[in-house]
Structure 1
Amino acid sequence: MHEPVKDSLVETLVDDRYFVRSLVARGGMSSVYLATDRRLDRDVALKVLYPHLAADRGFLRRFESEAKSAARLSHPHVVGVLDQGITDSLAYLVMEYVPGRTLRGLMDERGPLSPRLALALMDAVVEGLAAAHDAGLVHRDVKPENVLLADNGRIKIADFGLARAVSTSTNTGTLVGTVAYLAPELVTAGGADERSDVYSAGIMLYEMLTGRQPFTGDSPIQVAFAHVHSSVPAPSALCPGLAEDLDDLVRWCTAKDPEERPVNGRALLGELRHIRTSLSDGELDFRCAPHPDGSPASSGSPTEALSGATEVLTGAGAATSVIDTSALHPDVAGGNSTEVIHRSGNPTTVFPAGGRPGSHDGGRGTDDYPAEENDETYDDGDDDGQGPHRRLSKRDERALARHNDREAHRPQMSLRSGKPRRRGILVAVLLAVLLAGAAFAGWFFGAGPGALVSVPDVSNTAVEEAGTQLGDAGLTYTTDEVFDEVVAAGLAVGTDPAAPREVRRFQPVTLLVSKGPELFPVPNVVQRTLEAAGADLQEADLTLGAVTEEYSESVAAGSIISQQPLPDTLLRLDAQVNVTVSRGPAPVEVPAVTGLGEEAAVEAVEAAGLKAAVAPDKVNSASVPAGAVVAQTPASGLLERGSTVTLTISLGPRMVEVPNYVGQRAESARADLESRGFTVEVENLLGGLLGLVRDQDPGAGTAPEGSTVILKVV
């Protein structure tokens, strides 16, 4: 049995503040540790980036910026970002520590969830997304592994902005986000907005209801293309019996065209809560039958969770996990009920003192005790001879006993006769008041200001027409202007509450009027470095687009020559600005100066914009005369202006000894001369019959290497 390898960060102090206690999880970008903040004496989750990401300067800049944006988001359903830091050896993020488990753990354990539980979980997740979208943040990696179920019943979504930090700090086109929940536009266009989060949330709801993901494949690319080319099926196709409203909700969230989805988390939240209030108890408590293999079909395992699962033991010793729905929206949470999820997979509901649903006496039925299915019966002794005695349950027995006790204490006659007429008048007046109150209540809640009406859909209509529709529905409204990326300025975006939610007529409705898309001026980034330009554009809520390079004689290498669009142009949020970066002066062609005299060669090199350097050592050359350039480095090609070309000067040919060959055989003389580097010419005298050298030119002495020696042979 092998001992586990201890993590090197455990039991160390990070940045002189955070004492690392244990490793919690490892994920695709980082490791998560449980640590103690020694300055504030509290437990925190320490997310430490992997070394290859910490070494990427571009990523660290984006990581720091996104951490600051996420830290500004404070919401009960979002894991809080407390601190971030970069040291010489690591980069880290400090987050709120959430002891509990992930939604993935719950789904792996239970398989398909009931719509009641799935919608309660989604309510918290979507409310957190809505708050983030309102703050201008997009999650980009919504999945069960990033939904944390705390021990105290709270539901939180984690890792806002980190997927954006990865995708925007690298220019590789890598898809960031778990492929099973990837929106089609992330595969085809690479851009993400609030509607991409809505798509991922819809896939997650599908998986909670059915226990399976809509698309599977042998490789991630197959799943990604399925998201692009296929429509997400209705959950009821896999789980017959699910409410049609749930099918519509999933299909709306997972439309392939982002324009056909809810515009953001806030729009989805309104419809989600409307569906929760409109479904019957039977539809909410329906649960998809387990799959034939007996196990949930969800793929993957929890990654980057902030803590492990925490369990609560029942009296019988069975482990349960508790999710408190009292923290959810009061209109949709169903009171203060707490749903207890048993590991056996059979949900029960623990109801508060207010009573059980369906009872008419505060949850006590006809007596003060809950019904007992296995109560024994008793014989009341009323035997009429027509059959077996009628037997009552213990519950009925207790009710009968209380009824008999009340009857035994009821007076059989009044000790005072009173005035019957006065009593009759009082009864008549009381009945009249009750009837008038009932009539008023019926009018008030039926046709008056308290009547329920559906908010009309006024999106993309003129403000006057929208006001007319609201007035015809008996609603009073105020107007508020909002930015909108889709609806033209001056037209109605919608209402708050959103259509088709039912409200009382006396409730105020806000008519949202479009101001058009929010526009941001383009800053001037010319003469700025690429790094500084990226920071300027991010500060202006824009992004750096395509980067091209050009030679420039006036702009230093690495600085921006030009930009498109031009400065002060108004663009939409996160629009791209393309820039051209200087590569410095253009390179020049190296001139060929071999064979030129030294002075002429130097002039030719300097005229080309280069520097000439004469090598200190001259060399002999059989072909280049003394004082001329015998070699140059480099000999050709392109060089940056001002670069150096080295010239080597010739000493002329080397002088080689020429022996006296007169009287020797011509063949041996020729071979010896050629071995010394001479060129040999033979002139035959009288036919050269003897083959002997009679004369030579030059004679014995020295001659330049490579020169010609003439042998005269007889």
Structure 2
Amino acid sequence: MHEPVKDSLVETLVDDRYFVRSLIARGGMSSVYLATDRRLDRDVALKVLFPHLASDRGFLRRFESEAKSAARLSHPHVVGVLDQGITDSLAYLVMEYVPGRTLRGLLDERGPLSPRLALALMDAVVEGLAAAHDAGLVHRDVKPENVLLADNGRIKIADFGLARAVSTSTNTGTLVGTVAYLAPELVTAGGADERSDVYSAGIMLYEMLTGRQPFTGDSPIQVAFAHVHSSVPAPSDLCPGLAEDLDELVRWCTAKDPEERPVNGRALLGELRHIRTSLSDAELDFRCTPDPASGPSGAGTPTEALAGATEVLTAGGAAGAATSVIDTSSLGAGGTRANHTEVIHRNDNATTVFPAGSRGAGDDGADQDGYDVEGPDDDYDTDGEADLSPNARRRRAQRDERDRQRLNDREAHRPQLSLRSGKPRRRGILLAVLLTVLLAAVAFAGWFFGAGPGALVSVPDVSNASVEEAGTQLGDAGLNYTTDEVFDEVVAAGLAVGTDPGAAREIRRFQPVKLLVSKGPQLFSVPNVVQRTLEAARADLQEGELALGAVTEEYSESIEAGSIISQQPLPDTLLRLGAPVDVTVSKGPAPVEVPVVTGLGEDAALKAVEDAGLTAAVAPDKVNSATVPAGAVVAQTPASGLLERGSTVTLTISLGPRMVEVPNYVGQRVETARADLESRGFTVEVENLLGGLLGLVRDQEPGAGTAPEGSTVILKVV
């Protein structure tokens, strides 16, 4: 057994921020890693592009632009783009990490899904697409590999903008997408819009219901050819018993003409939810067990056989189909690459190039380099009757019979008048009767719409009138009405707020009118937000349909800083919609003034600091002081000011003055003795005896020995 080659990026730091922990998956355009964002301390999915893309400056510009567009999209069913970067050696995209598996993994494990599960999964996917379409983004590569199923039940669609970045960075004859889900217009014209995503979603729904893809071939080109020239078969052709509404939904999404599809994800989402509510439980829980020998021509192989070539290297990783760039000249007869994102080159005339031999036997349309060229007007039909199974032919015959029956029903309800030739007198009587009936109908219509129940009347303005007065005005106008009570901030309870339709609207007398009667303003109970944080209080008030009012701050010895001390109005007070509630927020305990304890004894100083609500600490080293006696405080830190309660004040204790040697100066000049004593830190006093004419020291106090630093030495001079 060979040891696996370790990826060079694993256990490295990308852009001084993202620590790569392991390889999740590798595709045709990029590798996906599990990484840790060192700055925010969270797991992310790091998509690193292959060197041939990272070296393309045009692609990098598009890549950066599309990443910014995708990052602006925030939706519960879309994988968030968190960051992107380009260094000297690589280009990368940072996305939300979704632990779990892909929809492809679920299909591989379970095969066809019940309509209930398939529609529930599609609901999340289409809702994500709808949000993207609303923001002006087109995915271009919708497929099961890009649908992530998180371990906590969340469903997210990934890889917005990457396919567009690749396609716009290559030449104009290039299209991007996974051929199994590729919209026909991407092959023939190259332009993608929201309806292209809808087509891919329809193909994905077909696969979820049947366990197979509608089209396969020996090469990606043949699959793309089938999308252009063939209609997607009904899922019930492969799975008899599926609800007809599901067939219609798949047909609508996968119409070859984009104009015949839902205009975007939002339009599809509405129809999808309508169908989910209209199907019976039996139809929703139906499970397809297709006969491998049945199904329309060109139907795909079972989903398990089309799982793409992406190798998932870590458990729980999001495996996607590999994304690769394919030149049609490299595709031979055996070049099947199912579920990869393909980049297929077209010529400038929007014709589709197919490998030689991909059309039927006996076709001599191959050109000199071995490729056949099919233009958009060529006739190609893979839905021939001869290729259908007996089951499919029976269901097609049933649908044709239903279509003929609907046509017959419409013809049966079309009125016909036949005036056969007969006696002139009989025809005259008949015409007279018809004319009389016609005149009567005209007269009745004139009365009905002129003065009768169908006459137009203007709805009277009944605002601020009593219910009785409003009823009288509506009755005088010939209108029938019902009453409905509503809250109103202006009109007093019991009075009319107005009508629906509103005042001055012209309606027919037979149309109903609703008289809206005020219940007064709607009142809401004030919640108790004391001891809540400011943000929590704001959320509580908004939930209670009230608003946060003025915010003041006060010191509090009992309520921690940032929490609310009091509120006004008090809890359970009833207020109108949106009324403000003022709050006072704690700034924590009030600061304490630092006492000055310099010069006090150690015990007295400690007590003074602690009595002030502060913590006293004695410095480990004592110091000498010429002015402060031993055992007293010689210094404190801080010396003064304000501190939070409980803060520490450090005290330094004095050792008293330092003892300094005093020399014997008797017989020396007084100037010399004075200078030497002052240099040693003593204070010098001179007493002149007999006028001090000689300037010599006769005596000194203290005598030779030691004395405290800073003490006074007396020199007696003669």
TM-score range, shorter chain: 0.3 to 0.5
Q: TM-score when scaled to structure 2? A: 0.44
